[in-house]
Amino acid sequence: MKNKRIIAKLIALFGISMFFLNACATKTEPADVVITKFKQAVKTIDAVDMKLEASMTGKDEKDNINFDLTGDVKLDRLSDVKKADVTAKLGGSLLAADKKMEGNIDLEILTIGQEFYFFLNQFDTSDPQTENIEKQLEPYIKKWEHLASDFVPESIKKWQEKDEAALKREEQLKDLFVNTTLFDVTKEYGIEKVEGNKAYHYAVKPNKEGVKEYIKKAASINGREMTDQEVLDSASFVDSITNLELWIGHDDYFLYKGVLELSSKNPDSNVTSQISITYTGNSYNKDLKLKAPDKFEEFNPISLIMSMQLEEGATTGTAEEGATPTEENATPTTEPETPVTPAPVK
């Protein structure tokens, strides 16, 4: 009996010792140091797999809107061939003028260097005005389509292949992000596990003066000078933020999770709105294995636009043929004019 008590005490002592050893092994740093290292880590990101979940609601006395968005974004700039894969799913409803409309869109966009592909998985709405669009998009549903370079906007091409001036501006913006106080830590929750990684969990509050400074200087870097009023208006969103939390990696200082919540009310229109966004990040600076689809078809947007216009014209023509002339839309009848003979010149 005595031996059992001794063994039990030894087990308890071993458990307590392991707990304290584990706690001591996880070293913690001051919040301001972690935040600085986090901002510096952002500068080093060349690849990331991030997911976004967002919801938005808005309403007034009669109407309301409700949308949910999920996105999976993979960015890879580890090599000279820039790659990106963006999957977005948008669904929601709109109640306006006693009419309710619902819809869902599921789209994936893939870029490999200057090659662009898209996969339309779903497109449906309850709005009768979009029936023609749905009909014309049917042949492209659940197929990879390749978009010729001529149809790709120049702004997207430049984002993929930035020139020396653009790269310089990007570095300046990164330095500005590191050197500007954009938020202050208001609460430290300790270390938690997120996406399999130990992370510092903080509640933070935007620093409005810092945000204004960043907006003004960022605009100047991009060749635009903003007035104080323009800067103030641009930074007004800060007043709508009700919650902002960050989970920063304990070992690498990357952002593994972020939560942003906003709420606002327009006193003029009496419209209230709430927005909630959750970010999760992983696979920082790792090869994401992005490659072009094995099978795809060549997409011609001009052909799609022309077929939609023809369909719309045919629908309009049918409606006009079946219409009954009224006093307003009937073709007016005119009698032939009598030729006027000019008077002889005296």
Q: If we measure between CA atoms, which residue out of 255, 260, 261, 276 comes closest to residue 50?
A: 255
Helices (H), 26-103: 31-42
Q: How far apart are the first and last CA of the chain?
A: 148
Give the pLDDT confidence score for residue 62 in this predicted structure. Answer: 77
Give the pLDDT confidence score for residue 249 in this predicted structure. Answer: 97
Q: If we measure between CA atoms, which residue out of 233, 205, 201, 240 comes closest to residue 219?
A: 233
What residue spans define the domains of the chain?
25-300
240 exposed, middle or buried (CB, 10 Å; 0-12, 13-18, 19+)?
middle
Give the pLDDT confidence score for residue 268 in this predicted structure. Answer: 72
pLDDT digits (tens, 9 = 90+) for 234-278: 999 999 999 999 999 999 999 999 999 999 887 777 788 999 999
Beta strand ranges found along 23-163 (DSSP E): 47-59, 64-76, 83-96, 99-112, 115-125, 144-147
Residues (pLDDT < 70) of the chain are 1-26, 97, 159-160, 311-346
Q: Which two tokens stand for residue 68?
A: 């949910």
Give the pLDDT confidence score for residue 342 in this predicted structure. Answer: 44
Q: Which residues pair with 192 in a beta bridge?
A: 199
